[in-house]
Amino acid sequence: MTTEKPLPDPADTPPHATAAAARPRGTVTDPAALAPTWPEEFAERYRAAGWWRGETFGGMLRERAAAHPDRVAVVDPATDRRWTYGELDARADRLAAGMLARGIAPGERVVVQLPNIAEFFEVVFALFRIGALPVFALPAHRETEIAYFCRFTEAAAYVVAAEHGGYDYRALAAHVRAEVPTLRHVWVAQGDPGEFEALADVAAPAPARPDVPGPAPHDLAFLQLSGGSTGVPKLIPRTHDDYLYSLRGSNEICGVDEHSVYLCVLPAAHNFPLSSPGTLGALYAGARVVLCPQPGPDTAFPLIEREGVTLTGLVPPLALLWTRAAETTSHDLGSLDVLLVGGAKFSEEAARRVRPALGCALQQVFGMAEGLVNYTRLDDPEETVVTTQGRPISPDDEIRVVDDADDDLPPGATGHLLTRGPYTIRGYWNAPEHNARSFTADGFYRTGDIVRLTDTGHLVVEGRAKDQINRGGEKIAAEEVENHLLAHSAVHDANVVGEPDPYLGERTCAYVILRPGAEPPTALAVKRFVRARGLAAYKVPDRVEFVDAFPHTGVGKISKKDLRAAAAQRPGTP
């Protein structure tokens, strides 16, 4: 039994811990009404199969804290803090009580943009306890993205660190608050809060429990961001039941138990380090999470040695860097049992180097924030581990490989991957038009990935049909960047494609047709223009090329295929 309950005696609850009258009486959009869900017969099947067990995140932490309050849950090396399960649980309660007192209501959205610091977990578990929904932004996001997330989700609050990586998030917050009327609070989790409220002051000063019933297991837990292929990112509604199942399944496949130590190297809010098996998988298992402030080997290797890290997850460019650095490191990496690599295609040659260099097992992971996650298994033959991207977590993950007309292809053929299952969403948040395109009538998600199934049921990713660039695991929707390029007064038309890059796998090239008669900008000026639009830096085109015309297909559409081919032949120029 894991559903949250208020304290039995309300008299024990300090006044600030109640959902006080302070909350504006404006309408709180009912999040469930905006999120398509599984038809009842599927939900029943997933419950009967034992995939959905009626747990919630708030209840999960409560249970772990009761079972082993003194075990370390989260290590934050940058600030030399070690929070036990008991402490994390109590902190989440106090923060939830403080947020309720400030009018955050169940179902409301709170944009969370934090680096890899302990407060990330305090904040998300506080929100889980209330039943308010974290919206997971990445530290790289800037004004354009954050304002959009806040506006689109009608967010009530936004949580940042004062500074990170030389960037001042308070300035970003001031900008966003001025633009988004629903945003009632900005909370600063670390550093000088400036004009905003420090998160430490939001938390109730004395032990307190949030005076709300808490969410039900089938309720939404959070909104995750899609990599996307459209002009603006789509939001992915995940429930407690479905996400917790993906954690349990991932833990089993990756051998995570209470003795594991997970190093969180990638940005904590991303679905891969969050759940595959990630920090939440580790906490589910009662294991230890170590937050890595920087992803490079210079930071990570000493932490692996000091904390006895047993597993971690990396995108391919980082895996390459680590593999190279491991050959000469003086640090003892002997505790590392498993390295998960995913987010983008890991080349076979690089995959072969992992075990000899790092002395650990490799698991490839091919996942998506929309749901489906595939892993190579720890007992798979080496050839399978280095040549495939794994097989699904669940026996109830349905996989279809189809042609352009949605007809199933014969076994082993290469085609579009469609999927449906107990932890794959049935639709994006508040996006009926996208949903009609991104899902089949019977609920399969169109992943946009081109795959082939081996006779052992493993998937090999062969390409991509979606108009997206995968820049070393960071996803860029071509249309989003094209829209920003088109805002330049000298730009007549623009197309963004991926081109091969030896380190990132792919990088971006923008083909631009200038407006006749306009003062021609330099490539650098165009990049600066995009940057100044308030976009995450990874979305700024790596290369800008001016052309007179775009190649066309037989029916007169612009041929991105030909542009990609042209870009592939001319890499190297900035």
Q: Is 364 in the site for ligand OOB (CB under 6 A)?
A: yes
**CB-nearest residue to ligand OOB:** 367
According to CB under 6 A, which one of 129, 288, 420, 464 is a site residue for ligand OOB?
464
| Rounded distance between C-alpha atoms, residue 518 and residue 552, angstroms | 24
Does residue 392 touch ligand OOB according to CB under 6 A?
Answer: no
Distances (CA, A) of 94 to 18, 73, 85, 128, 216: 11, 17, 14, 13, 21
CB of 397 to ligand OOB, least distance (A): 14
Determine the interface stretch with ligand OOB among 203-211, 255-263, 297-305, 363-371 (rule: CB under 6 A). Answer: 363-371
Residue 297, CB half-sphere, CA atoms under 13 Å: how many? Answer: 18
Calpha distance 272→461 (Å, rounded): 17
Which residues in 264-323 contact ligand OOB (CB under 6 A)? 271-272, 276
CA distance linking residue 543 with residue 553, whole number of Å = 24
| Pick 334 or 457: Cβ nearer ligand OOB | 457
> Can you tell me whether residue 547 is helix, strand or coil?
coil
Rounded Cα gap, residues 271 and 250, in angstroms: 13
Chain position carrying tokens 């050959």: 327
| Chosen residue from 461, 476, 496, 544 binding ligand OOB by CB under 6 A | 461
Distance CA 33, CA 83 (A): 37
Span interacting with ligand OOB, options 28-36, 281-289, 364-372, 434-442, rule CB under 6 A: 364-372
Helices (H), 359-397: 382-387
Assess 391 for contact with ligand OOB (CB under 6 A): no
- Look at residues 124, 382, 403 and name the one whose alpha carbon lies nearest to residue 278: 124
64 sits near ligand OOB (criterion: CB under 6 A)? no
- Return the closest-CA partner of residue 398 out of 342, 447, 340: 447
Asked if 234 touches ligand OOB (CB under 6 A), the answer is no
| C-alpha–C-alpha distance, residues 34 and 154, integer Å | 12
Residue selected from 314, 365, 481, 496 as contacting ligand OOB according to rule CB under 6 A? 365
- Examine residue 185 and tell whether it contacts ligand OOB (CB under 6 A): no
Instruction: Tell me the C-alpha to C-alpha distance, in Å, between residue 230 and each of 51, 418, 437, 483.
Output: 32, 19, 11, 10
The smaller minimum CB distance to ligand OOB, of residues 401 and 461, is found at 461
Where residue 343 falls (left for φ over 0; alpha for ψ -120 to 50; beta otherwise) is: left
Examine residue 373 and tell whether it contacts ligand OOB (CB under 6 A): yes
Q: Does 18 bind ligand OOB (CB under 6 A)?
A: no
In whole angstroms, the minimum distance from the beta carbon of 556 to ligand OOB comes to 29
Q: Does 375 bind ligand OOB (CB under 6 A)?
A: no
Mark the segment that binds ligand OOB (CB under 6 A) among 54-62, 251-259, 330-338, 366-374: 366-374
Note whether 145 binds ligand OOB by CB under 6 A: no
Q: Does 439 bind ligand OOB (CB under 6 A)?
A: no
Residue placing its CB nearer to ligand OOB in the complex, 464 or 484: 464
345 scored as a contact of ligand OOB (CB under 6 A): yes
Nearest CB to ligand OOB, comparing residues 215 and 472: 472
What three-state secondary structure class fits 338? strand
Residue choice 99, 354, 369, 494 for contact with ligand OOB (CB under 6 A): 369
Which residues make beta-bridge pairs with 398?
A: 420
| Residues in contact with ligand OOB by the rule CB under 6 A | 227, 271-272, 276, 342-345, 364-369, 373, 389, 447, 449, 461, 464, 470, 475
